[in-house]
Amino acid sequence: MTDRMQRTDLAVELQENLEDKEILSGVRVSTRVNEDNDIKETRIVIDSEEGSVKFGKPIGTYITIESEELRLCDEDYHVPMSQALCGHLRKMIGTSRRILVAGLGNRAVTPDALGPYVVDNLYITRHLLQEELIHTGYEISALAPGVMAQTGMESQELLQAVVREMKPDLMIVIDALAAMNSDRLNKTIQLSDSGIAPGSGVGNHRKAITEESMGVKVIAIGVPTVISVPAIIEDAMDVMLAAFGRSGMREAVEELTDQERYELAGEMLKPYLAKMYVTPKNIDEAVKRISYTISEAINQLHHSYI
């Protein structure tokens, strides 16, 4: 797997940019588009070690839900998005009832505040069930563990301690992601049952939060909020190629591999820019809006008990 491909947390982008376009052994991909609400769903299932190695992702199921409408300030449209996410969540949760939600990220840095914002809007029920104030529904508890710069501890370490004390059946982890296609920023939600490695998309690898490290099943939900500057330059190359037509420059660039194009984009920038990640200017509004969509999807889980 190339370094360029590792600059994304989205399985769907890895699949789109594989140099070998043949179907990989142990990897199944299916796509569905709901034209009624303009939601595209891509399911990628990796079910073998060979497929995991070639694809660059752990064994598991990766579901991408995306729509251009998610970027709009339309509260009504966020209803079908939350319903779609809730439907997939129910299937992954199965018979588990005691759920711990972890909102990863730094609340003080808006592009990284998705997880804490989701926790703010959750319907927490663990204490209500224990005190018999309600009698049905999932047992939901939640926390936002912060980041190492704030606590001096890995999120994995904090969550391991909480899991040992609370003994949930399952964890849902929410985090902001990185994309390598600017068109996917703030319009894509990824859901997976393989856990998460916080910061991997921006080269800031932290200890993974997975079933192996936690001792319980881990479902990860993420939204891409940042993109590297070289990836943006590479996107611009495609526009330039379309303008060049069949010129010699276009033919020369088209012969480059994905890795070579990414490296070329990096060389066009000053060193500090080549390592920089950026986010859309309306990120404050977008993160608050999308975090509410995700929290509503989790809150809707209770409806199955009504």
What confidence tens digit (pLDDT) does each residue in 279-300 have? 999 999 999 999 999 999 999 9
- Residue pair 151/104 in contact (Cβ under 8 Å)? The answer is no
* Confidence bin at 100 (pLDDT 50/70/90): very high
Number of helices (H), then strands (E), in the chain: 14, 9
Give pLDDT tens digits for 204-217.
566 899 999 999 99
pLDDT at 2 > cutoff 50 = no
For 72-117, what is the HEC assignment? CCCCCCHHHHHHHHHHHHHHHHCCCCEEEEEECCCCCCHHHCHHHH
pLDDT for 23-74, tens place per residue? 667 889 999 998 888 899 999 999 988 888 878 889 999 999 999 888 877 7
Q: Mean pLDDT of all residues in the chain? A: 85
pLDDT digits (tens, 9 = 90+) for 166-202: 999 999 999 999 998 888 999 999 999 999 987 654 5
Q: Cβ distance 201 to 225 under 8 Å?
A: no
pLDDT bracket for residue 236 (50, 70, 90): low
Q: What is the pLDDT of residue 41?
A: 96
CB atoms within 10 A of CB 234: 22
Q: Is the pLDDT of residue 120 over 90?
A: yes
**pLDDT of 3 over the 50 cut:** no
Tokens standing for 163?
């899991």
List, in order of start, the domains of the chain with CATH numbers. Answer: 3-230+275-305 (3.40.50.1450)
Angle at 96 between CA 95 and CA 97, to 5 degrees: 110
Output the pTM of the full model.
0.86
Within the chain, what is the greatest distance between any pair of CA atoms? 74
Tell me how far apart the alpha carbons of residues 189 and 263 are, in angstroms, rounded to a whole number. 28
Confidence of residue 78 (pLDDT cuts 50, 70, 90): confident
C-alpha torsion 4→281→221→118, nearest 10: 160
Q: Which residue has the tokens 């379309």?
A: 242
> Among 11-15, 196-200, 265-269, 282-286, which is the least confidently predicted range?
265-269
Strand partners, 233: none
Q: What is the pLDDT of residue 270?
A: 63
d(CA 108, CA 116): 10
pLDDT tens readout for residues 132-170: 999 888 999 999 999 988 999 999 999 999 999 999 999
